[in-house]
A and B are shown apart, each in its own frame.
Chain A
């Protein structure tokens, strides 16, 4: 559900070619493939990655890849190049794809994705994520930079960051994949080992991308279009969305910059993920586990915040766009440095980040900190405190080796600006336990979020899975640590408990089906229709869930809820007001509607490189996504080239013959057509 595509770009242009509707001859020839996802082109300061097709699509004879001989057939021995390769996910690895990339006989690739990933793991991301945008560089911990000490994602094959000149689409197992295989078996197999005869089954994949080269080029072309063209046609969009933040004690949103006397503990996590294909990014372990834990911790802290608030404030931040060189966190740090956020970097007391926590083994969690700044003793004492709060839970927290750097995390961006003490909580000591990092397989099944068969969707929503129980324990640990870190007293720690029931509801909603009764009751009535499966744009959904957890019901009407300025006790500076649907009573289709007041806000997660117009920046993320017009995939039968030429030749010959015949008839017209007229003319 989370993808950088959940990092929404401004008005993506994909107009479907709906003009061709119902001509039956077309339906007899082409079989449209509907449930496909393309790989699209992304650009940054120096490179372009992803796939490109020609304007009307690339057509090739279909070939199913099952063995090595099939690969040879495509690359060298097959008689009818170019080929479109259909492969199952096992073959979708670096070696095969690099061989196909280098060949001129490949017109496209279609990958059939199965439910479970390859057993040995698969990660199309880099093996060292966000290497150049973190804190470790030649000037800060150079021996720790570039994954010299720990390779965080050893299964990473960097496939997502290659530039392919042919289109690559994904299909899921099902009807469409069967139709394609049947077409292949019926037409593309030679009889008794001979070459297959025409007509052959072919596939056409169209995903023509407009942007090229790098971000600076595409932004320049956008600029030229907007200034000099009558109907501007943009070629790319910067990856941008919103970060969600909330505070335990409300902060006045109209005051920006340094807030005197305010000392804040930041609890951070990330919201986004990606995969090789566009708009498909379940992100179970890499993102959902983390933000669900933090949401549950925010809800658990609610119990104590009114009666025994801690001395410091806690700021919950959910960063969007972290996969692409930390778009959200770099923007927040930039805003803090320039006095555009409610607090300043000097207001930050410390930072706790929730990394990937859902796959911990035997209840073991790890606290990573930065070895370069750990010389500050306050950080070390924090860690010891955190280990003691875990004593009442079945979790144990330990520190990895002193010399290990921080894993890729939003905290690194904060460290780039200021040496803030902080820790990152994860379930892995060194390399990720996630074997499907940033891939399609990092989904509910991988997290073991599974339900006994025979349950209805509503029952599944309520069923507490084991994963939910363990994540709830992690959330309790996080909440208690945050409370202690913010100066809360030990006596109240036992009343802070995360509820496994809401954790399981959140996991169900974000990983399995977002159109469920609980989510429907949390959001406003006009957004309900956007809930689909699985959720593609979780930013606003996380905002509503957080509002539900940290907010209070107000007795206001809908119009009052929109404009609570003049009402007593209401302040738009301190809170946001949401009109939510509420639970739907059994006898009607819509809930009554309630006004919820919560200190939850959205801030832009748009890379500072675009604000500063530094499109080749090395300091900030410069990722953009190309625009496109038409994405489609279809299969049909093609005839041989000889037949096509013969048809054309016959047509031209008929034209010439008809011209000659017409000329002769014209010149001998009186002879041919005069005989009957002569007899009648004598009748004068």
Chain B
């Protein structure tokens, strides 16, 4: 969708929808929000709705950062300790590699 031809109100609406949607454990919506509306929020000359859009983009970025940190930490821990955890790790795993502990 090309944001050039969308009225400002619509843009604010979209940004808000994506922001709220991200709270349903969907950090990718926040990523899309940040990337898509970055230019609108910080590069374009100011217009009335831009202040709200800026807030939404900033908060989405923050949420995204938290999610990335949490997932990276968990993935690192799991990959490192899966072999040692034995039974618990097997029940947590979706696919268990064959032939290695």
Q: Are B90 and A212 interface neighbours, CB within 8 A?
A: no
Q: From known contacts A221-B90, A224-B91, infer whether A55 and B96 are also in contact, taking CB-CB under 8 Å.
A: no
Check if A212 sits within 8 Å of B99, measured CB to CB.
yes
B86 and A217 contacting across the interface, CB-CB below 8 Å? yes
The answer on a CB contact under 8 Å between B98 and A210 is yes
Check B99 against A208 for contact (C-beta < 8 Å): yes
B4 at the A/B interface (Cβ < 8 Å)? Answer: no
Quote the shortest CB–CB distance from A50 to chain B (angstroms): 12
For B100, the closest partner residue in chain A by CB is A212
Distance (Å) between the CB of B57 and the closest chain A CB? 37
Query: Contact between B87 and A235 (Cβ–Cβ < 8 Å)?
Result: no
Min distance, Cβ A39 to any Cβ of chain B, angstroms: 15
Chain A nearest Cβ from B49, distance in angstroms: 42
| A209 CA to B101 CA, complexed, in Å | 12
CB <8 Å contact, A52 and B99 = yes
Considering only CB atoms, which chain A residue lies closest to B95 in the complex? A229
Interface string of B82-96 (1 = CB under 8 A from A): 000011001100001
Contact residues in A for B96 (Cβ distance below 8 Å): 221, 224
Q: Residue B101 contacts which of A208, A210, A212, A235 (CB distance < 8 angstroms)? A: A212
In the A-B complex, the 5 residue pairs with the closest CB atoms: A210-B98, A212-B101, A213-B101, A210-B99, A208-B99
Q: Which residues of A contact B (CB under 8 A)?
A: 52, 55, 208-213, 217, 220-221, 224, 233, 235
Chain B residues closer than 8 Å to A221, beta-carbon distance: 90, 96
Q: Mostly helix, strand, loop or mixed at chain A's interface?
A: loop
Interface 1/0 per residue, B62-98 and A, CB below 8 Å: 0000000000000000000000001100110000101
Query: What separation, in Å, do the CA atoms of A209 and B90 have in the docked complex?
Result: 18
**Extra contacts besides A55-B99, A221-B96 (11): CB < 8 Å:** A208-B98, A209-B99, A210-B98, A210-B99, A212-B99, A212-B100, A212-B101, A213-B101, A224-B91, A233-B98, A235-B98
- List chain A residues, Cβ under 8 A from B100: 212
The interface residues of chain A lying within 8 Å CB-to-CB of B90 are 217, 220-221, 224
**Shortest Cβ gap from B33 to chain A (Å):** 35
Instruction: Give the Cβ gap from A81 to chain B, nearest Cβ, in Å.
Output: 22
Q: How far is the CA of A587 from the CA of B98 in the complex (A)?
A: 55
Which of A208, A211, A220 is most buried by chain B, counting CB atoms within 10 A of its CB? A220
Chain B residues near A217: list those with CB within 8 A.
86, 90, 101
**Closest B residue to A208 using CB positions:** B99
Report the bound CA distance from A208 to B98 in whole Å: 9
User: Which residues in B have their C-beta under 8 angstroms from that of A212?
Assistant: 99-101
Write the nearest CB–CB distance from A22 to chain B, whole angstroms. 30
Q: For residue A224, which residues in chain B have a CB less than 8 angstroms away from its CB?
A: 90-91, 96
A233→B99 CA distance, assembly (Å): 13
B69 to chain A, nearest CB (A): 30
CB proximity of A40 to chain B, nearest CB, Å: 12
CB distance from A299 to the nearest CB of B (A): 48
State A210–B100 Cα separation when bound (angstroms): 8
